[in-house]
Amino acid sequence: MCCFANLIKNIFLLRVVAFYLHYTYIHTMGKQNLMDNNFNKQHFLKLIEKYLDGKASLDEIELLNNYCYSFQQDNAWDEFKTESDYRDRMLENILKEIKEDESHESKIIRIFRSNLFKLSTAAAVLLIMFSTAVYNSNIFSKIQTPVNKVVFNDIKIGTDKATLTTEDGSVIVLEKGKSFKGQNAASNGEKLVYNSGGVKTTKAYNYLSIPRGGRFYLKLSDGTEVWLNSESKIKYPIAFTEGETRNVELVYGEAYFEVSPSTAHKGSHFNVKVKDQNVEVLGTQFNVKAYEDEGNIFTTLVEGKVELSNNKHVIELHPNQQTVLNKSSNIMKTKSVDVYDDIAWKDGVFSFQRKSLKEITLILSRWYDIDVVFKNSTLQNKGFNGLFEKNQGIVEILETFKKLGAISKYTIREKTVVLE
């Protein structure tokens, strides 16, 4: 009975979230909604429940508040003249839905009256958050905001593209709309897949390079899947020798690995070399971030178990943990993390939790192939929480930053963005 009560409660909460999604994306129904992602719905509901139970931390309350207003579009508020118009419409529709549920499911409602109360509480929580978000972002303010200047905007959204360098030195450009077929690999322009099967003794290596403004999917000959982020490069053999350790190297950049288990390869381990660090796995899912212009290497474990080592440390990593290796000191530290923030990029999402604008713009610069300049250096340390789809234009994201007070103005000149 308890499980069924929780199910009813979650259905109600989902409806509340559905109202939120509808009204924050009004006028933009043709656009795929980020919160349709099942993971985000579940995460959002958990945050609401923790808030209602009084168990949410300050960070979680801040994140929940940001969920409620970091997706708003410029024209999302056009039909509402005042904040009360928006709040009243939300309340009217939520209460209408509750009334319909009472008429159609009166027996269930009577049995689980406490869940109806929780629904009302959840609705109130969301409405308070909406009001706070609207107030904080000055959406209904009549104060004139600085006008942004766009001289020439040739900033394109990133897409699937890569350069393959084969063992004989040949260079093949891989991109959407172009296919490639080699002796041991084929590509449809969005992914590169190597032939599986067969024992190979020749150690021939290929390189796959992803430029700024690009991403690519790679399937190695052993079945291991690799998602490569912008400005990344990986070295790997065209085939693995059965029974021997499977070695690849992330030369630089960021990659997410779903490793084919050792049980399918006569017990052979899988190793990823990254600078002075080695990641040894038996079969697991993890993310490695090792950009040349960043001072740390981040390894985040999603599933399974890995062992990281260098000349100073040997660390066993468990799910929801991350190691941070300082490249200068060679010191490696471990911490617990919300892994979604580190792997959301492979699913087409920017997830920013308590990140500075400097960190955020570094990520954006790789995806949109832009240079970001801060007119005031103190702005770099300003914090921001939010989620964006990677198929959003850069102007849309900058407008959200401005609307929420992270910046006051931006200027775009060709591929340079100046923030104030």
pLDDT for 119: 45
Tell me: the pLDDT tens digits for 213-230?
999 999 999 999 999 999
- Measured CA angle at 71 (ends 66, 75), to 5 deg: 130
Residue 48 has pLDDT above 80, yes or no: no
Residue 304 has pLDDT above 90, yes or no: yes
Which string of DSSP letters, residue by residue, matches 304-359? S-EEEE-SS-EEEE-TTEEEEEETTT--EEEEE--HHHHHGGGGTEEEEEEEEHHH
pLDDT for 404: 81
Tell me which residue of 215, 100, 236 sits closest to 166, measured CA to CA: 236
- In the chain, what are the domains? 2-136 (no CATH), 159-343 (2.60.120.1440), 355-419 (3.55.50.30)
Q: Phi then psi for 174, rounded to 5 degrees?
A: -110, 125
- 374 or 97: which leads in pLDDT: 374
Percent of the chain with pLDDT over 90: 43
Q: What is the mean pLDDT of the chain?
A: 75
| Residue 400 near residue 70, CB atoms below 8 Å | yes
- Written as six digits, the tokens of 399 are 């407008």
Count CB-CB contacts under 10 A for residue 162: 27
- The model's confidence at residue 62, banded by pLDDT at 50, 70 and 90, is low
Residue 73 has pLDDT above 70, yes or no: no
389 CB-near residues (< 8 Å, 6+ apart):
32, 34, 348, 349, 350
Query: Which of 21-30, 106-115, 187-196, 349-358 ranks highest by mean pLDDT?
Result: 187-196
- The model's confidence at residue 383, banded by pLDDT at 50, 70 and 90, is confident
Mean pLDDT of 128-155: 51
Determine the residue type at 147.
Answer: V
Mean pLDDT of 395-401: 90
Question: CA 386 from chain center: how many Å?
Answer: 10
Q: In b/e form, how buried is each residue of 306-345, taking b as 16+ CB within 10 angstroms? A: bebebeeeebebeeebbbbbeeeeeebebeebebbbbbbb
Whole-number Å distance between alpha carbons of 82 and 24: 15
pLDDT for 278: 92
pLDDT for 368: 96
Whole-number Å distance between alpha carbons of 335 and 314: 15
Percent of the chain with pLDDT over 70: 63
pLDDT for 47: 67
pLDDT for 52: 62
pLDDT for 140: 39
- Written as six digits, the tokens of 335 are 């911490």
Mean pLDDT of 173-189: 92
| Residue 27 near residue 75, CB atoms below 8 Å | yes
Mean pLDDT of 238-255: 92
Count CB-CB contacts under 10 A for residue 92: 10
- 34 or 414: which leads in pLDDT: 414
- The model's confidence at residue 110, banded by pLDDT at 50, 70 and 90, is very low
Residue 206 has pLDDT above 50, yes or no: yes
- The model's confidence at residue 275, banded by pLDDT at 50, 70 and 90, is confident
- The model's confidence at residue 233, banded by pLDDT at 50, 70 and 90, is very high
Residue 11 has pLDDT above 50, yes or no: no
- The model's confidence at residue 51, banded by pLDDT at 50, 70 and 90, is low
- Written as six digits, the tokens of 343 are 């792997």
